[in-house]
């Protein structure tokens, strides 16, 4: 295990802001993860686990302890009970995994194409897009339990998956380091067309799309919204969607729609669990005066998507946070809704 010192973290993230890590270890094997945790404990260092860096805002002061960058690779697949079980290392690039699953004609993650980051990051936030969530296909997770100092296997039911939430970013934050994730996919299954834009896209052709065609359409859609990492595209220097779509109770939803009606507006909404309503965070942002392409100092909003805060070229983390807070304040004043952030804030 090689321990590096004073390593810049900005180049390891898609937002490309933030300071240095006091120590950094790249762990390509499970025993290296165990060894890194032991090093942090002996030195009484705070520990942070880094995956693909796609959902992070690193403070300008950096991280005062040890960063463990997970680089565990490898994908295996085997047929099991009429399905195909894919076992992927936490360091595997997520979109490469999706590409392999689609090439094997296995359905279940095709609508999650183009999402930046690594396999190990997907369960943490219960990554979802275009009508699919990873929790729908996760069979189990192999993880290092930092508290117990041993490797454990967590079935899907133990992970507490909800909208953009799991035990890994809530009740058990910091306890588990994800090593591998197993996904149960459907061999020869039809692609998911739950998302209206996808249905409309393929309705014109009159043919049922293949998994590969859906994957291609999703990637094109993500690129059009600045949500696909493309070299040279300034709008892709982001942490993805910065705010969660609010999930409101019936009373909260009625109050919000009443405000909108007074302004002659109709807010987009979708059914959610427990008879709740999910409303569009992007709509709230744009109807609070924060338009696509707006800049505040060295930070900005993507020209393609209102939920993507971008590094315009020389942003500091403080610039991103300042813009984030201004948007939250504006939305709360205009609509009475407090927007929750999606990215992980490191070192603040």
Q: Quick one: pLDDT band at residue 232, thresholds 50, 70, 90? A: confident
CA–CA gap between residue 212 and residue 190 (Å, rounded)? 11
Is residue 231 predicted with pLDDT exceeding 90?
Answer: no
User: Can 322 be counted among the known catalytic residues?
Assistant: no
Q: Which pLDDT tens digit goes with each residue over 63-97?
A: 999 999 999 999 999 998 889 999 999 999 999 99
Whole-number Cα distances in Å, 334 to 62, 120, 167, 260: 34, 37, 33, 10
Q: 224: Cβ–Cβ under 8 A, 6 or more apart, which residues?
A: 304
- Percent of the chain exceeding pLDDT 70 equals 100
- Res 203: pLDDT: 85
Is residue 206 predicted with pLDDT exceeding 80?
Answer: no
- Res 31: pLDDT: 97
- Res 320: pLDDT: 98
Judge residue 237's burial from the number of C-beta atoms within 10 Å of its C-beta, 0-12 exposed, 13-18 middle, 19 or more buried: buried
Is residue 235 predicted with pLDDT exceeding 90?
Answer: no
Distance of CA 150 to the CA centre of its chain: 27
- Res 53: pLDDT: 93
Q: How many CA atoms, within 13 angstroms, populate the side-chain half-sphere of residue 278?
A: 11
The mean pLDDT value for 317-323 works out to: 98
Whose tokens are 């999703």? That residue is 218
Is residue 200 predicted with pLDDT exceeding 90?
Answer: no
CA–CA gap between residue 168 and residue 176 (Å, rounded)? 7
User: Which is the catalytic residue, given 113, 135, 192, 241?
Assistant: 241
Distance of CA 114 to the CA centre of its chain: 11
User: Can 215 be counted among the known catalytic residues?
Assistant: no
Nearest Cα neighbor of 65 from 49, 50, 41, 47 is 47
User: Which is the catalytic residue, given 34, 142, 164, 219?
Assistant: 164
Query: What domains are there in the chain, each with its CATH number?
Result: 3-70 (3.30.43.10), 75-224 (3.30.465.10), 234-343 (3.90.78.10)
- Res 312: pLDDT: 92
- Res 280: pLDDT: 95
CA–CA gap between residue 309 and residue 265 (Å, rounded)? 25
Q: Which pLDDT tens digit goes with each residue over 45-69?
A: 999 999 999 999 999 999 999 999 9
User: Can 170 be counted among the known catalytic residues?
Assistant: no
CB 57 within 8 A of CB 343: yes
Is residue 204 predicted with pLDDT exceeding 80?
Answer: no
DSSP string covering 160-184, please? --BTTB-GGGTTTTTTEEEEEEEEE
- Percent of the chain exceeding pLDDT 90 equals 86
CA 34-162-123 angle, 5° bins? 30
Q: Which pLDDT tens digit goes with each residue over 115-127?
A: 999 999 999 999 9
Is residue 207 predicted with pLDDT exceeding 80?
Answer: no
- Res 109: pLDDT: 98
Alpha-carbon torsion (290, 291, 292, 297), positive or negative: negative
């Amino acid at each position: 295990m090689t321990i590096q010192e004073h390593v810049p973290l900005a180049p390891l993230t898609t937002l490309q802001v933030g300071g240095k890590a006091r120590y950094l270890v790249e762990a390509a094997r499970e025993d290296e993860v165990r060894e890194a945790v032991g090093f942090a404990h002996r030195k009484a260092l705070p520990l942070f686990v880094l995956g693909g860096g796609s959902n992070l805002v690193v403070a300008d002061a950096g991280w005062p302890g040890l960063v463990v960058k997970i680089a565990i690779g490898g994908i295996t697949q085997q047929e099991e009970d009429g399905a195909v079980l894919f076992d992927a290392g936490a360091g595997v690039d997520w979109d490469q995994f999706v590409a392999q699953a689609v090439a094997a004609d296995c359905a279940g993650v095709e609508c999650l194409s183009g999402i930046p980051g690594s396999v190990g990051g997907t369960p943490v936030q219960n990554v979802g897009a275009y009508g699919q969530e990873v929790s729908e296909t996760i069979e189990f997770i192999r993880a290092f339990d930092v508290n117990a100092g041993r490797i454990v296997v967590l079935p899907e039911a133990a992970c507490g998956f909800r909208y953009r939430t799991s035990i890994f970013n809530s009740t058990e934050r910091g306890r588990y380091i994800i090593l591998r994730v197993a996904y149960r996919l459907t061999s020869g299954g039809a692609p998911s067309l739950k998302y209206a834009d996808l249905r409309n896209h393929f309705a014109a052709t009159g043919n049922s799309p293949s998994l590969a065609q859906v994957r291609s359409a999703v990637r094109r859609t993500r690129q059009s919204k600045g949500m696909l990492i493309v070299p040279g595209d300034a709008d892709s220097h982001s942490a993805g969607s910065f705010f969660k779509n609010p999930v409101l109770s019936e009373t909260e939803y009625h109050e919000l729609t009443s405000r909108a009606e007074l302004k002659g507006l109709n807010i987009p909404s979708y059914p959610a669990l427990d008879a709740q309503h999910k409303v569009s965070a992007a709509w709230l942002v744009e109807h609070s005066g924060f338009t696509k392409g707006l800049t505040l100092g060295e930070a900005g909003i993507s020209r393609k998507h209102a939920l993507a805060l971008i590094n315009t070229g020389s942003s500091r983390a403080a610039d991103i946070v300042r813009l984030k807070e201004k948007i939250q304040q504006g939305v709360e004043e205009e609509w009475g809704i407090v927007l929750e952030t999606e990215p992980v804030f490191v070192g603040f």
